[in-house]
Amino acid sequence: MGLSVTNGELDAPFPEVSIIVPARNEEASLGDCLQSLLAQTGVEYEIIVVDDGSTDRTRAVAESFGEVRVISPKALPPGWTGKNNAAIAGVEAARGNWLLFTDADTVHLPGSLARALAEAKREHADLLSYSPEQVVVTFWERALMPVVFAELASEYPPEKVRDPDSGIVAANGQYILVRREAYEAAGAHVAVAHEILEDVALAKVFRRAGYRVYFRYGGDAVRTRMYHSWAQLRDGWTKNLHLLFPRAVRRASRIAGWWVIAWLALPAIFPALALFLRVQRANFSRGTTLLATALGPPVFAYLLLRSKRAHARGEVTWKGRAYSDPPSELRTNASLLRTDN
């Protein structure tokens, strides 16, 4: 079992999973992503790349894979984000009973699709999401990314996300596998079309509709390198951090304060060790964790406050598009991620 569509022909075997890859200016990473998806076995699937108005060679890269369907979304409606519009277009073209939304900068391990589908069925999950292994290369990636993901693990512990009674819900848009029937009943991406943080918003509408959300670290299934430069890293986290951590000033002050105390009390070692153990939760190597512990917290605090200011001023941009939060969204950021507020 494997790929079920050749050159987009619809008379091929019916796929169990439709893989939807929204892509905007992803020529550098899309090829590796598609190669890893085309190598999947153990389940019938189709691959749909949605070229979201790319100005580079993204479409040419996608079309070089004859087994992949390449489509364009409809014109972007006012207020919608490009990724949501692309996801909706992908769903309209999809034929599978399960839908996998995955980013163009991901690489999927052999057999991971079949294992993920089996896990979703075993756990009775209507939405299964993995947090991929994060590949870090440059100094700033290594210094910051472990701190970000350690704080995410603290704010949204996977075991609590999996608990429908915890009041905490989250997902990672780099890998979201959904049962189509539940997805459509919950409102699909149309229900979150205006949301910048569409992955968490989608998980929330699933939870509210009574469907099971299953989330865990998925380094055994998928990996990604999110950013390749300081500018990408800065702008990407400026877009997302305020929405992920709505109490931005409190969290920025706390993490920066821990960092200062750790350095001032370094001879005593215990504050530094406590900070190291916190950062270690992010599943990076020991060397990268040490670097991030030593230098990452003030950078995280700066970007978190920068994100808060950008959202307040309506100055959020990403890949050539500008986004602004509607006032109601700014008022409800805390409840976006928690259902017990």
- Residue 119 sits in the same domain as residue 268: no
Residue with tokens 């996801």: 87
CB atoms < 10 A from the CB of 90, how many?
23
Please say whether the beta carbons of 73 and 88 come within 8 A.
Answer: yes
Residue 307 inside a domain? The answer is yes
- Residue 72 sits in the same domain as residue 198: yes
Residue with tokens 């972007």: 76
pLDDT at 174: 98
| Separation in Å, CA 326 to CA 245, 268, 313 | 18, 48, 11
- Work out the angle at residue 91's Cα, subtended by the Cα atoms of residues 330 and 159, and round it to the nearest 5 degrees: 55
Residue 1 inside a domain? The answer is no
Residue 76 inside a domain? The answer is yes
pLDDT at 335: 34
pLDDT at 322: 78
- Residue 44 sits in the same domain as residue 94: yes
Look up residue 39 and give its two tokens.
């190598």
Look up residue 183 and give its two tokens.
């997805």
CB atoms < 10 A from the CB of 300, how many?
26
- Residue 108 sits in the same domain as residue 185: yes
- Work out the angle at residue 245's Cα, subtended by the Cα atoms of residues 209 and 105, and round it to the nearest 5 degrees: 80
- Residue 128 sits in the same domain as residue 44: yes
Cα separation, 217 vs 213, whole angstroms: 14
Strand partners, 18: 46, 99
Q: Please, what are the averages of pLDDT over each run of 10 residues along the chain (341 residues)?
A: 52 85 97 98 98 96 97 94 96 97 98 98 98 97 97 95 95 98 96 95 96 97 96 95 93 93 77 91 95 96 95 85 56 34 31
pLDDT at 333: 36
pLDDT at 14: 85
- Residue 258 sits in the same domain as residue 118: no
pLDDT at 8: 44
CATH number where 40 lies: 3.90.550.10
Residue type at 128 in one-letter notation: L
Q: What is the H or E stretch that residue 131 is in?
A: strand 127-131
Which residues form the domain of 285?
Answer: 230-317
Residue 163 inside a domain? The answer is no
Residue 303's nearest CA partner among 247, 224, 257, 236 is 236
CA diameter of the chain: 69
- Residue 197 sits in the same domain as residue 122: yes
Cα separation, 208 vs 191, whole angstroms: 12
Residue 140 inside a domain? The answer is no
- Residue 128 sits in the same domain as residue 191: yes
In this structure, what are the phi and psi dihedrals at residue 30, rounded to the nearest 5 degrees? Answer: -65, -40
Of how many residues is the chain composed?
341
Give residues with Cβ within 8 angstroms of 295, minimum separation 6.
Answer: 143
Among 200, 224, 248, where does a domain finish?
Answer: 224
Assign 325 to helix, strand or coil: coil
- Residue 202 sits in the same domain as residue 251: no
Residue 120 inside a domain? The answer is yes
Residue 160 inside a domain? The answer is no
- Residue 108 sits in the same domain as residue 187: yes
- Residue 305 sits in the same domain as residue 176: no
- Residue 110 sits in the same domain as residue 185: yes
- Number of folded domains that form the chain: 2
Cα separation, 142 vs 136, whole angstroms: 6
Residue 45 inside a domain? The answer is yes
